[in-house]
Amino acid sequence: MSFPKYYTLPQKLGMYGLKLVAWAVLAFLMIPILVIIPLSFNVEPYFSFTPGMMALDPDAYSLKWYTEFITDDKWQLAIRNSFFIGLCATVIATVLGTLAAIGLSNPVMPFQRLIMAMLLSPMIVPLIITAAGMYFFYTKLGLSGSYLGVIIAHAALGTPFVIITVNAALAGFDFSLMRASMGLGATPTYTFFKIIMPLIRPGVISGALFAFVTSFDEVVVILFLAGPEQRTIPREMFSGLREQISPTILAVAVLLVALSAMMLFTLEYLRARGERIRTGSY
């Protein structure tokens, strides 16, 4: 690490200490996640390293748990449900969140703070309370134990994330562009798709990814609202920990970590792209 010539010894030691603390925090966060990767290849049905694994014996490693995840009927149903519910909830949350963010970003919108607080409340209220309220409300409407009920519930949880990301994308938006488009005779629909949407597209996509991850990883609402046919991957993992412990859960966790990492890189790319659009540097 190179320092400016005017740095004193305490300043250099402080920079080294800061770097050490940063690496220590990173290790504290990442080691519990990374340790499941080798455990998922354990040939034995254990959640610990066997002597063969510690000795790097090839016979101690296997893909059997990944194979079980792919071929087992229960996991197949969970995979289909997770993607179906997640994609449907993402579409609803993205549409509603984008429209809400555009409306709330308009300076003439009354009660902006109050409405924003209400729309973001699913992020603030403890999830167990939200899930319990949804259960009693959806039961009266006949939506409990149905795909529609789970999709609407997940859309409600994902919408605040879309609002936040789109609202951030609209922070530097010049509304005179919209007024100029309307003044030149463009329809509101044309103005939205040709003027507004190209500028906020990175924020919309980022919000959609957050909404999808929220739905894909959610388990509390599923426990309250889902029936036997709506079991998702997190619900199946929860059942596996309580009812029948199987290293298949570790294989699923590794795949979910890989999926989350890909989405993280996508979000970072979109963030950088959005920054380039706002600054005009391509």
What are 179-207's pLDDT values in tens digits?
A: 788 787 888 788 888 888 887 888 888 88
Q: Which two tokens stand for residue 225?
A: 């609202």
Angle subtended at Cα 122 by Cα 116 and Cα 125, rounded to the nearest 5 degrees: 110
| Residue 25 confidence (pLDDT) above 90 | yes
Is there a contact between 222 and 60 (Cβ–Cβ < 8 Å)?
Answer: no
Q: What is the mean pLDDT of residues 126-153?
A: 88
| Residue 282 confidence (pLDDT) above 60 | no
What are 215-257's pLDDT values in tens digits?
A: 888 888 888 888 888 888 888 888 777 666 777 888 888 888 8
- Which alpha helices (H) appear in the chain, and where do they start and end? 9-34, 36-39, 51-54, 64-71, 73-105, 112-119, 121-124, 127-141, 147-169, 175-183, 188-191, 197-217, 220-225, 233-242, 248-279
| Residue 152 confidence (pLDDT) above 70 | yes
Amino acid 253: pLDDT: 85
Amino acid 1: pLDDT: 61
- Which alpha helices (H) appear in 170-187, and where do they start and end? 175-183
Rg (CA), the chain: 24
The CA distance from 156 to 46, in Å, is: 38
Say yes or no: domain 65-279 is CATH 1.10.287.110: no
Q: What is the mean pLDDT of residues 154-172?
A: 87
Amino acid 250: pLDDT: 85
Q: Where residue 24 falls among pLDDT bands split at 50, 70, 90?
A: very high
pTM (2 d.p.): 0.79
> The dihedral of CA 62, 63, 64, 65: what is its sign?
positive
| Residue 271 confidence (pLDDT) above 90 | no
Amino acid 256: pLDDT: 84
- The neighbour count for residue 39, using CB atoms within 10 Å, is 19
What are 36-68's pLDDT values in tens digits?
A: 888 888 888 777 788 888 888 888 888 888 888
61 DSSP β-pair partners: 42
Of residues 264 and 136, more confidently modeled: 136
The CA distance from 43 to 210, in Å, is: 35
Amino acid 234: pLDDT: 86
Structural domain boundaries in the chain? 65-279
Q: Where residue 279 falls among pLDDT bands split at 50, 70, 90?
A: low
| Residue 281 confidence (pLDDT) above 60 | no
Per DSSP, the residues of 104-166 read HHSTT-TTHHHHHHHHTHHHHS-HHHHHHHHHHHHHHHT-TTSHHHHHHHHHHHHHHHHHHHH
Residues with Cβ within 8 Å of 271's Cβ and at least 6 positions away in sequence, in order, are 202, 206
Mean residue pLDDT across the chain: 83
Of residues 83 and 60, more confidently modeled: 83
